[in-house]
A and B are shown apart, each in its own frame.
Chain A
Amino acid sequence: MVPCNWYMWLSAIVFCIGMFGFITRRNIIIMLLSIEIMFNGVNISLVALSHYLEDLAGQVLVFFIIAVAAAEAAIGLALVILLFRNKETITVDDLNELKG
């Protein structure tokens, strides 16, 4: 039997990989992908705890997280299209109009 802690460690590692991607990449689509990786890291932990504590609330929460992730991806990608239409780039360092 696999102990619950292993799933929690895996979840923490995946979350931190996603966070590293979010704060270091300059491409906005990869930043959105990193957010999805972070969501998945949290989901692993929730499903594992739901299984080991014998309570289904964690899996219901995962269902809601997936719904919110879908909404977030749709809005985020619409913003990316809008950004590309106006600026011809999706590199965040080039989008510095407010910088004085």
Chain B
Amino acid sequence: MINQVFFFYFSAVIVATSVMAITRRSVMHGVLYMLLLFFHIAGLYLFLNAEFISAVQIIVYAGAIMVLFLFVIMLLNLRDDIKKRQFIATWPMGLLVSSGILMIILMAMLTIKTGTQGQWGIAQIERLTHTVAIGTVMYTQYLFPFEVASLVLLVAIIGAMVLAKKRIK
């Protein structure tokens, strides 16, 4: 019972803040609603026994990505852009398309068949602690994708610096 009350609270806030984030005229307000959204998603992860992912969500999304967005918004002078029309002229068509795809996904979920249970049950994760368990999987089974992810981050660092630096003639 208490589980469901918490789930309804978190899902209501997640849906409400994501709608608010994409409909606000001011970009700054949108980013602050996104911050609230990320904290509630982290709460939902805690609820699913994923402590490490929850901490990464707060540190990386709320701490790094949103601060990056805030810095860029403060760097740009958006006074003229805010006065313009914010939605495209045919936005009802966008609403139709996205709600149609939502219907398709929900219909597909009615016929979903889940696979076999894995070996990382709640008792084993509790015995090892969650971070050790996820590290064991990540550094053995998924070592190569981990290295590729580090390469992607390196490319992003160099690319962002090369793109955003001032051209010196």
Q: Could you tell me the distance in whole angstroms from the C-beta of B116 to the nearest C-beta in chain A?
A: 8
| A/B pair count, beta carbons within 8 Å | 220
Closest to B34 in A: A33
| Bound CA–CA A1/B4 (angstroms) | 7
* Residues of B near any A CB (own CB < 8 A): 3-4, 7, 11, 14-15, 18-19, 21-23, 27, 30-31, 34, 37-38, 41, 44-45, 47-50, 52-53, 56-57, 60-61, 64-65, 68-69, 72-73, 75-76, 78, 80-81, 84-88, 91, 94-95, 97-99, 101-102, 105-106, 109, 112, 114-122, 125, 133-134, 137-138, 141-142, 145-146, 149, 152-153, 155-157, 159-161, 163-164
Which applies to chain A's interface (DSSP): helix, strand, loop or mixed? helix
Assess the B4–A66 pair: CB atoms within 8 A: no
How many A residues touch B, CB cutoff 8 Å? 72
| Bound CA–CA A25/B138 (angstroms) | 37
| Bound CA–CA A32/B41 (angstroms) | 18
Given A16-B98, A18-B22, A78-B159, also A29-B118 (CB < 8 A): no
